[in-house]
Amino acid sequence: HDAKEQHDSFRRFSGNTAQDSADRLTLLGDLRRGLTDASQFTLHYQPKIALSDGSLAGVEALARWHHPTRGPVPPGQFVPVLETTSLIHPFTERVLTIALEQARAWLDAGHRVPVAVNVSTRSLLDETFPGRLAALLESTGVPGELLCIEITEHTVLSDPTTTIDALRCIRALGVKTSIDDFGTGYSSLTYLKLLPVDELKIDRSFVADMVADSSSHALVASAVDLAHNLNLTVVAEGVEDVPTAAALVGLGCDTAQGYHFARPVPAADLESRFFRRQPA
């Protein structure tokens, strides 16, 4: 089904400005309608695996859009378009609501599963964001420490001061914070020291060829050490095979995600594969 997800549901933007803006408007119209339809947006969950013992350390929630006629549209195609308008706000609200309701349902079934949610620059930097987050935690009754907000280095670089303020407010709710795709954004060591974050996720591009390529290996090794020296948990994303997992264990990396362990799956599939039956 991955090939289907890779399939171009929407024509790639052509570079022809008039055609591009027509395509973008069609896409935005479909997104606007889709956001009012509870069935079109769902979340898949990808396990984060503790490398020390192979246990489930948490999950990352990844948005899935089922377009009524075009079928599945990958987030890489629609999230960047949502980010150009204020439609990103109801989308972020929807994703957080589904993720927290899922965490609540798991809690009620006796499973404490930390859930990570990706939050776009525009949503994170909106001054109402921390208040909305507090309200959602309150209404779902999920303890803050079971939620992690993933932001990218690009968000930090776009507006470091506002990002740091927002992250402080989020952490004051007990919520964890994470820097996603680390290594792709040229963020300086100064920012890393100042950022109120709990976790660093090493980008897939470095992890993918760390076994074959010595400079990627050196970069991953440095990122693991840097994270640990700053007292951050470190996650390697995009682990696709045994040699890569073994290399990460060798470097003392805490947690890993990737197709080698599990693809993002619907909640029910995650439960049947990863949850032990509760003792009677």
Q: Quick check: 153 binds Mg ion (CB under 5 A)?
A: no
| Beta carbon nearer to ligand C2E, 32 or 110 | 32
**108 vs 185 by CB, closer to ligand C2E:** 185
Among residues 9, 40, 118, 140, which is the contact residue for ligand C2E, using CB under 6 A? 118
* Binding of residue 130 to ligand C2E (CB under 6 A): no
The answer to whether residue 199 forms part of the interface with Mg ion (CB under 5 A) is no
Bin 268: left if φ > 0, else alpha if -120 < ψ < 50, else beta.
Answer: alpha
Q: Among 31, 49, 57, 62, which residue interacts with ligand C2E (rule: CB under 6 A)?
A: 62
Segment contacting Mg ion (CB under 5 A): 103-111, 148-156, 160-168, 220-228? 148-156
**How many Cβ atoms sit within 10 Å of the Cβ of residue 88?**
21
**Shorter beta-carbon distance to ligand C2E: residue 76 or 279:** 76
Direct distance between the N- and C-terminal alpha carbons of the chain, in angstroms, rounded to an integer: 37
Q: How far is Cα 61 from Cα 159, in angstroms, rounded to an integer?
A: 25
Are 178 and 236 a contacting pair, CB within 8 Å?
Answer: no
**60 CB contacts (<8 Å, ≥6 apart)?**
45, 46, 48, 115, 116, 117, 118, 150, 257, 264
Q: Rule CB under 6 A: choose which of 31, 167, 238, 253 binds ligand C2E.
A: 238
User: What binding mask, one character per residue, do residues 202-221 give for ligand C2E by CB under 6 A, x or -?
Assistant: --x-----------------
Among 28, 50, 79, 251, which residue sits at the site for ligand C2E (rule: CB under 6 A)? 79
**Which residues in 175-204 contact ligand C2E (CB under 6 A)?**
180-181, 204
Residue 153 in contact with ligand C2E, rule: CB under 6 A? no
Q: Residue from 150, 153, 199, 254 that binds Mg ion (CB under 5 A)? A: 150
Binds Mg ion by CB under 5 A, chosen from 118, 163, 233, 244: 118
90-96: Cβ within 8 A, 24+ apart: 90/35, 91/31, 91/35, 91/41, 91/63, 92/119, 92/120, 92/123, 92/129, 93/132, 93/136, 94/35, 94/41, 95/41, 95/43, 95/61, 95/63, 96/132, 96/133, 96/136
Residues forming the site for Mg ion (CB under 5 A) = 118, 150, 180-181, 237
